[in-house]
Amino acid sequence: MPIRKKTIEQIKSLKAIIAFTFLFGVFIGKIIPNHSELFTFAYQAYRNLLQSKSVGLSGYQNLQISESIKAELNDRKIEVREPHRVRTKLFSHPPIGSPELEKHPYANFYLEAEAHFNSSLAIKRGLGQREAHWTEAMKRPREERLKDFKRSLGYHEKIPPRCELRFKKRLSDRNGAPIEELSLTGRFGATFKVLKSLPGEKSNGVLIALHGRNSSPDFVMGVSKSNDYSRAFGEFWNKKGFEVYAPQIDWGLNDHAIQFNYSSVGVDIATIIDLILYIKSIDPKDSIIIAGISYGAHLAEFVGAISDEISTIISIGGIARGDYFDRLQAGVIKANPRRPASLSYLPPEFYFHYSGLGLIRLIAPKNLVLSVGTHDWGEEKFSLIFDAIDYYYQIGSARYLSLNIFKGYHESDPEGEYIAYKNLGR
């Protein structure tokens, strides 16, 4: 086959492949928003191919720079070199965690690092570094410790808290109890939904109820016809006479707001603190309880530590699930440098300093309810629970920590949490 004819056939095949990738990218981009990058890539590749004015597979002759950038480069006397004519072969290393990696010449680092990171010596050294940090941190004013904490969370108030009601409509839960759906505008100018229950003749207080990952306010407030692991704890507290607000928070699709220097967690914290501003605008005298399950429990802990408007934190399946170091020591988890990086929503600094007693130190001496199922993780979690009890006792605030340990898994026990709340201060 003549070279030119063979080249044309190759280009036809390439066009077919790119066209298929483009259509597949459209399909994936429609049904799975997180894969929109594939759509963008396919579109760009297809467009570049259509714009090609010469035959060849190297691709370098098709690389174009906009006229405005060309002019700017020329004005700055910057030359764009053209050193290449043929593209190099793409190469990929064995995936981290694959059997092939162990035979790779560069595998020793991963294998030896894994052995060291999980050794008793490394864990002891890490614990020592964390304790040394807190020994020094506790000598500093609380405001400075909170500043460090907020930085590790990716949260700040350089964009001031703001909350305005746009509109509201009346709903009802599955039992017919009245609920309002509020549409509020926060500091970022975006509208977020909040389900608000209406208490009876007398309100026993205000509670913010936070759902976990893969859940929503509908499950927390009993609007959904089915139950999830939150077990409609917001609905339960409403029946106890509390005015309950259940805001929408991230359910796992949110990205960091890097343009504002907020993490995805920082965006959720901002939403909750904006909501607190709205609640206080209605009744400044109300003290606010914040309760959450799973990821919502962590947010309740974070906001409880940061905001002076929160009087009580009810953490359900949150920090009481255990400390990272306790899990390492128990062998429940392993540090694995060969594993692909996780989609963790907080930096290592947070987990190192605050996954254990550090966060308890920031919350204390506020009212704190720790609720956790016996089989939500393993028994190593009791080490941190006992440390929390000892710490509250040590600072003279033992009455302000209450526990609800129940036979169960990663889920809520609304009645037990309410009883633990009522035992605070006794």
Q: Does a structural domain hold residue 255?
A: yes
**234 and 351, same domain (yes or no):** yes
Q: Does a structural domain hold residue 399?
A: yes
Give the contacts of 62 (CB within 8 A, at least 6 positions apart): 48, 51, 52, 53, 54
Strand stretches in 294-338, DSSP E: 310-316
Q: What is the pLDDT of residue 275?
A: 97
Q: Does a structural domain hold residue 110?
A: no
**307 and 212, same domain (yes or no):** yes
**71 and 172, same domain (yes or no):** no
Of 75, 96, 114, the one marking the end of a domain is: 75
**55 and 157, same domain (yes or no):** no
Q: Does a structural domain hold residue 219?
A: yes
**Residue whose C-alpha is closest to residue 150's, from 307, 333, 335:** 307
367-407 pLDDT, tens digit per residue, is: 999 999 999 999 999 999 999 999 999 999 999 999 999 99
Q: Does a structural domain hold residue 398?
A: yes
**Residue whose C-alpha is closest to residue 320's, from 301, 346, 335, 343:** 301
The CATH number of whichever domain residue 373 belongs to comes to: 3.40.50.1820
**51 and 171, same domain (yes or no):** no
Q: Does a structural domain hold residue 133?
A: no
The parent domain of residue 195 ranges over 149-422
Fill in the amino acid letter for 268.
D
**28 and 162, same domain (yes or no):** no
Of 75, 98, 120, the one marking the end of a domain is: 75
Q: What is the pLDDT of residue 334?
A: 84
Q: What is the pLDDT of residue 172?
A: 84
Alpha helices in 154-232, H assignment, sequence order: 217-220
50-102 pLDDT, tens digit per residue, is: 544 444 445 677 788 999 999 999 999 999 998 887 777 766 677 666 777 77
CA-CA-CA-CA torsion sign (29, 19, 17, 87): negative
- Looking at residue 167, the DSSP 8-state letter turns out to be E
Q: What is the pLDDT of residue 308?
A: 96
**61 and 156, same domain (yes or no):** no
Q: Does a structural domain hold residue 158?
A: yes
Alpha helices in 284-380, H assignment, sequence order: 295-306, 324-330, 348-354, 357-363
Question: Cα–Cα–Cα angle for 233, 238, 239, nearest 5°?
Answer: 100
Q: What is the pLDDT of residue 8?
A: 55
- pTM for the predicted model, two decimal places: 0.82
Low-confidence ranges of the chain (pLDDT < 70): 1-59, 90-92, 95-97, 251-256, 337-345
Q: Does a structural domain hold residue 392?
A: yes
Contact status, residue 298 vs residue 322, Cβ threshold 8 Å: no
Of 43, 60, 75, the one marking the end of a domain is: 75
Work out how many domains the chain is built from and give that number.
2
**373 and 256, same domain (yes or no):** yes
**167 and 295, same domain (yes or no):** yes
**168 and 65, same domain (yes or no):** no
**193 and 56, same domain (yes or no):** no
**64 and 172, same domain (yes or no):** no
